[in-house]
Amino acid sequence: MLDAAIIGLGWWGRTITELLAASTKLRLVKAVDVDASARQWAAARGLATAASLEEALGDSAVRAVILATPHSFHTRQIAAAAAAKKHVFCEKPLALRCSDAVASLAACQAAGVVLGVGHERRFEPPMRELARLARAGALGTLLQIEASFCQDKFLSLAADNWRLSGSEAPAGPMTATGIHMLDLAIGLLGPAARAQAHVATLGSNLANGDTLGALVTFQSGANLLLSALLATPFAGRLMVYGNQGWAEVRDKAHPEAPEGWTLTLCRSGGRPETTDYPAFPAVRANLEAFADAASGGAPYPIPADEMLATVAALEAIFTSASSGRVEPVA
């Protein structure tokens, strides 16, 4: 068991807390939040509580921290955890700027601690199979990806919630939904080269935008056509096109409470074949892979260079959404 503290008890911090109750590899021993009512929620579940990250980092029983905090806090909090020799799992995005991601990766490497990140969609069984097919050459040369992830969960948030802030969540839906699809594309296509994005508020009162469309071109020459929305009911889809076939994964329900997926594969000269996948706790699987790596087991399966490539492409999308121009990826 890896004993950890959860930092931040908002919507997602509470989701993680409840998911880890069934884990055999990672155990929460402390919960941290500045809000007293959030600490009461954690105490009612048998967790010791604290009001600051520093209290958790000073606790010898805590070997790792899980950051479910506002995005702009991540870089400072990762540096503090690494300095305290605590392993760090950071919710997505790892950082809002490429330079900050570089600093976080360097701090963890220098301290000899494992850094994990909340890209749980890589751990969904059909996404793993799609990646295996791509690596095996079953689709041939990868040409283009179409990806969409929309939800309307944020419509009930207060207007001053940090998730709707222009500084915490640039480019509207990008940090909420779009980043998941961007990261999956990075895992399949490698580093991006340039990005063009447009954000608008069309179907809600979300001041930071509810509709994002982006074209990301990769160093390989392949493209990602990305759609991310915050004002329509949930739908999730990733379609990969190659010169020898295509494959599509569709979600049956929001990944927070998965109900399974379908994977459709069509090879050149053949007909589409669809496989159903049952629900699977991908969020917990990601956290347990982090726990394995922190405990000396298998290396964490998301490489550092891909973590960095995702943030680099993310920053280019932010810049393009603001400038209206095609922007290079650092």
pLDDT by 10s per residue, the chain, length 330: 999 999 999 999 999 999 999 999 999 999 999 999 999 999 999 999 999 999 999 999 999 999 999 999 999 999 999 999 999 999 999 999 999 999 999 999 999 999 999 999 999 999 999 999 999 999 999 999 999 999 999 998 888 888 888 899 999 999 999 999 999 999 999 999 999 999 999 999 999 999 999 999 999 999 999 999 999 999 999 999 999 999 999 999 998 889 999 999 999 999 999 999 999 999 999 999 999 999 999 999 999 999 999 999 999 999 999 999 999 999
- Return the axis-axis angle of helices 74-83 and 98-111, rounded to nearest 10°: 10
Q: Are 310 and 185 in contact (CB under 8 A)?
A: no
- CATH number assigned to the domain with residue range 2-119, chosen from the 4 options 3.40.50.12280, 3.40.50.720, 2.60.200.20, 2.60.40.10: 3.40.50.720
Using a CB cutoff of 8 Å and minimum separation of 24, what contacts does 42-45 make? Answer: 42/6, 42/9, 42/17, 45/17, 45/21
Rounded to whole angstroms, how far apart are CA atoms 236 and 239? Answer: 10
Query: Which CATH code fits 121-328?
Result: 3.30.360.10
Q: List the chain domain ranges.
A: 2-119, 121-328
121-328 has the same fold as 2-119: no
CB atoms within 10 A of CB 134: 18
